[in-house]
Amino acid sequence: MTQAGSVATGPVLGIIPARGGSKGIPGKNLRPLAGRPLIDYAACAARASGVVDRLILSTDSAEIARLGHRLGIEVPFLRPADLARDETPMAPVLEHALAELAALDWRPEIVVLLQPTAPLRRPEHVARAVAMLRETACDSVVSVVELPRHHSPDYVMKVEAGRLVPFLAAGARITRRQDAAPAFARDGTVYAFRREVLLRTGGIYGEHCRPLVLDAGESITLDAPEDWGRAEARLTGDPRPRNS
């Protein structure tokens, strides 16, 4: 088995997680976005990247599984209901998928998590993340976008006992947002990591995580109904606001 710290050369698995329930945007994984099923955006980006050897859908929903089959996505198992709750972390979902594939005697070296809620994902995002993982000794690669400087922890504030104080003690010296240190947020476009890191640590980051920095114009995350209209506008090139 390849160990973390060595160059990755083995097969790459792409996993699209798409459970049946969703409180933020009800039914999102079956709902068409700009005329296409949401999971189709993830599948097309993975295939066109040229770096994913096997692509599977992890779902608890028979209806989503049927949609996946129609879209040409492999659905080798159904996810147990106890791994499809609102509060279920992603790591156990990924561990379940890897265990199911191992039972079929297939073990990837690299895993790429492709959440459907990032429909602006492009094939080159996936390819770049896998290339970074293959060419370096890192444990994982995570896509991020730079936050506006006024959102940097150096510049933001908090309330303590009714008083407004710097969020970080060092922030008291920062009086202009231009002087705040760059800060980055995970945007959900792509997570690529070594299988053994997940199995060894129970997480996908490991000790050596590298950023894939994306421009904000390349990124959107569907968390709430209003995000849906913005995504459709971006995908269709129509700047008019849409009802979600």
- pLDDT tens for 18-33 read 999 777 788 899 999 9
Who wins on pLDDT, 76 or 239? Answer: 76
The band of 3, judged by pLDDT with boundaries at 50, 70 and 90, is: low
pLDDT at 53 (0 to 100):
98
- Per-chain mean pLDDT for the chain: 92
Q: Closest Cα partner for 212 from 196, 181, 191, 182?
A: 191
Taking the CA atoms of 174, 177, 178 and 184 in sequence, report the sign of the dihedral they define. Answer: positive
The two counts, helices (H) then strands (E), for the chain are 6, 10
CB 93 within 8 A of CB 79: yes
3 state DSSP class of 188: strand
Who wins on pLDDT, 233 or 5? Answer: 233
pLDDT at 5 (0 to 100):
57
Task: Please compute the mean of the pLDDT values over residues 220-233 and round it to a whole number.
Answer: 91
Report the share of the chain in percent with pLDDT over 70: 94
pLDDT at 6 (0 to 100):
64
pLDDT at 172 (0 to 100):
84
pLDDT at 81 (0 to 100):
93
Scanning the structure block, which residue is given the tokens 């209003």? 226
- The pLDDT of residue 239 is above 80: no
Query: Which domains are assigned to the chain?
Result: 12-145+184-235 (3.90.550.10), 148-182 (no CATH)
pLDDT at 244 (0 to 100):
39
CB 139 within 8 A of CB 197: yes
CA distances from 22 to 43, 184, 196 (A): 20, 26, 30
CA distances from 33 to 29, 89, 230, 242 (A): 10, 25, 11, 12
